[in-house]
């Protein structure tokens, strides 16, 4: 039980990657605060099944005030926030000239600005207590681009840059900040892109394979469990000098 006594917040953890990471942190004994708009009761039950303490806060990650309130609530109720996993994210695809302005604003707010707001609120407590881990779930799209994903690619590149700044500002302390850059993971966010292909006439299995074979040489999805294992490593003493990394776990996507 590597993380007994630690308090972790995983934003956007009611489904997909965030929920997988939350479960692994809980399995290592951390108290885990869930957040997000999915099935809260189911997510809480999965944390309870590990035997760890779990809680939930409904902060909207597009709202800086709600983010500040959530971090203050965690520190007040649990005495600390030791591990911050910035995972909440949304996607929208369209060419730049057709990209709705309100979708651009929402993606920048949720996928990028929220990482600044959570970190800004959590760092003083980590610095006062002398330990912390900030782990940002970026994407391969933090390092390379794909067409029709202007807001997402811009936000994720921003997350990788912000990660490096936070890592440098805390480099002489036991507080690290790193980004994880997944390739395709089969979650509701990606299913929505497969569904778009199915709606355009592709057969469901062909749509899944086409999505994978365009980018991911493994032709298999990365799993939330595999990403959770990397989060645990970054939280461990073995990860203590990994600082400012953008660590891809992508089935070979970036090796091409």
14 binds ligand NAD (CB under 6 A): yes
Q: Are 95 and 57 in contact (CB under 8 A)?
A: no
Residues touching ligand NAD: how many (CB under 6 A)?
29
What phi and psi, each to the nearest 5 degrees, are found at residue 130? Answer: 80, 25
5 binds ligand NAD (CB under 6 A): no
For residues 189 and 242, which CB has a smaller minimum distance to ligand NAD in the complex? 189
b/e for 131-148, b at 16 or more Cβ within 10 A?
ebbbbbbbbbbbbbeeee
Least Å distance between CB 239 and ligand NAD? 20
Annotated active-site residue 152? The verdict is yes
For residues 40 and 242, which CB has a smaller minimum distance to ligand NAD in the complex? 40
Tell me the pairing of strands 31-34 and 7-10: parallel
60 binds ligand NAD (CB under 6 A): yes
The residues, any chain, with a CB within 8 Å of residue 224's CB and separated by 6 or more, are 16, 17, 19, 20, 21, 185, 187
36 binds ligand NAD (CB under 6 A): yes
137 binds ligand NAD (CB under 6 A): yes
32 binds ligand NAD (CB under 6 A): no
For residues 7 and 112, which CB has a smaller minimum distance to ligand NAD in the complex? 112
Residues 186-205 that bind ligand NAD (CB under 6 A): 187-190
> What does the alpha-carbon distance between residue 66 and residue 54 come to, in Å, rounded to a whole number?
20
> What does the alpha-carbon distance between residue 55 and residue 144 come to, in Å, rounded to a whole number?
36
Euclidean distance between the first and final Cα of the chain, in Å?
38
Least Å distance between CB 183 and ligand NAD? 6
What phi and psi, each to the nearest 5 degrees, are found at residue 17? Answer: -65, -45
Least Å distance between CB 29 and ligand NAD? 23
Which residues contact ligand NAD by CB under 6 A?
Answer: 12-18, 35-38, 60-62, 87-90, 110-111, 137, 139, 182, 184-185, 187-190
Active site residue ranges: 152
């Amino acid at each position: 039980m590597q993380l007994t006594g630690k308090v972790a917040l995983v934003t956007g953890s009611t489904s997909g990657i965030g929920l997988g990471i939350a479960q692994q942190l809980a399995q290592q004994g951390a108290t885990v605060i869930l957040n997000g708009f999915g099935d809260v009761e189911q997510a809480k039950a999965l944390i309870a099944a590990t035997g760890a303490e779990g809680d939930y806060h409904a902060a909207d990650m597009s709202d800086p005030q709600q983010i500040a309130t959530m971090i203050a609530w965690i520190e007040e109720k649990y005495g600390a926030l030791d591990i911050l996993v910035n995972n909440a994210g949304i996607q929208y695809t369209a060419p730049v000239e057709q990209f709705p302005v309100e979708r651009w604003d929402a993606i920048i707010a949720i996928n990028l600005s929220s990482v600044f707001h959570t970190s800004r609120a959590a760092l003083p407590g980590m610095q006062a207590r002398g330990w912390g881990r900030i782990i940002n779930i970026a994407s391969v799209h933090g390092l390379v681009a794909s067409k029709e994903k202007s807001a997402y690619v811009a936000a994720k590149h921003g997350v990788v840059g912000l990660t490096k700044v936070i890592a440098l500002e805390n480099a002489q302390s036991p507080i690290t900040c790193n980004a994880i850059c997944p390739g395709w993971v089969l979650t509701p966010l990606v299913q929505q892109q497969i569904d778009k292909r199915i709606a355009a006439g592709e057969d469901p299995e062909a749509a899944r394979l086409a999505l994978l074979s365009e980018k991911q040489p493994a032709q298999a999805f990365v799993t939330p469990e595999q990403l959770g294992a990397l989060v645990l490593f970054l939280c461990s003493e073995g990860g203590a000098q990994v600082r400012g990394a953008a660590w891809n776990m992508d089935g070979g996507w970036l090796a091409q």
